[in-house]
Structure 1
């Protein structure tokens, strides 16, 4: 797909979404998939995939901005830390069944920051509040043109697969068949 075709596909997107998608194009080149609503790159840089979307979401942490670029990694997230990450940043999403964690922010640098801090919370290196405080500090340092190490790259190596957690079965085949039979009989 040519850059011209990409430009045409995102031409009608909201300005913030268009700008964010263009940053990913500038970084990783041509996407692997383009639809009316999504532009997707598979395995660019350290990511499992990056998705730039037409739809933007308001996000007020650490300051009001719009989220539209999602960076995804394979990650087996510890169950006991899920609440802390939920409270740390609403743009970090744990998909336990797929074994993925993603961050959806305005750009790749903010996603690096969010996922590095997610990892710190998951491993116990930082509490939820320490992660929020560090995020705000690095966010301001970026604007001050000071070093922002958590925005430069991932500070851990995500696994390549093997992170899915399909959960545990609780219904037997017999129980399912009994329910089907009861449904056929009307209860």
Structure 2
């Protein structure tokens, strides 16, 4: 597909979403997938995937803005740190089953910042408040044109392979079969 195609795909998107998608196109080229609602890149740079979405999400941390670009990595969050990640930033999503963590903001640099801080929380280098304070500081430093090391790149290596956690089975085949048989006995005959 040509860049012209993506321009027509995003032409009806809100300005903020179109601008954010263009930043990804400028960085990684044409997406691997395009639908009227999103553009998807598989394995661009350090990411498992990037999704630029037509839908924007209002987000007030650390200052009001609109989120529409999601950057995804393979990463397993320790069970005892999941609540801390939740409390850190509502635009960070942990998908335990698939072994993915993502950040959704306006641009890749903000996603680097969020995921670097997720790693700091997960490893115990920072607590939630320290991570939020550091996020706000780097957010301001970016506007001051001062160094922003957490916005430059991932400062850790995501899981190379799958970080999936399919969880633990609690129902046996026998229990499932018994439930099916009971369901057959309890269903009204037509």
Q: How far did residue 77 of structure 1 move?
A: 1.1
1:107 and 2:82 correspond: no
1:11 corresponds to: 11
Q: How far did residue 53 of structure 1 move?
A: 0.3
Distance 1:162 1:26 in 2: 29
Distance 1:88 1:55 in 2: 23
1:185 corresponds to: 185
Question: How many residues are aligned here?
Answer: 187
Distance 1:182 1:96 in 2: 33
Deviation by residue 1:53-101 (Cα, 9 ceiling, x = unmatched): 0000000000000000000000011010000010000011100000000
Q: How far did residue 171 of structure 1 move?
A: 0.3
1:21 corresponds to: 21
Distance 1:85 1:169 in 2: 26
1:138 corresponds to: 138
Distance 1:7 1:161 in 2: 34
1:31 corresponds to: 31
Deviation by residue 1:133-184 (Cα, 9 ceiling, x = unmatched): 0000000000011000000000001112231000000000011011111111
- Aligned residue for 1:126, secondary structure, equals coil
1:45 corresponds to: 45
- Aligned residue for 1:157, secondary structure, equals coil
Distance 1:184 1:2 in 2: 55
* Gaps in structure 2 of 5+ consecutive residues: none
Distance 1:105 1:87 in 2: 17
1:71 corresponds to: 71
Distance 1:124 1:159 in 2: 18
Q: Scaled by the length of structure 1, what TM-score is found?
A: 0.99
Distance 1:162 1:41 in 2: 18
* Runs of 4 or more consecutive aligned structure 1 residues displaced over 2 Å after TM superposition: none
* Gaps in structure 1 of 5+ consecutive residues: none
Q: Scaled by the length of structure 2, what TM-score is found?
A: 0.97
Distance 2:88 2:97 in 1: 21
Task: Compute the RMSD of aligned alpha carbons.
Answer: 0.7
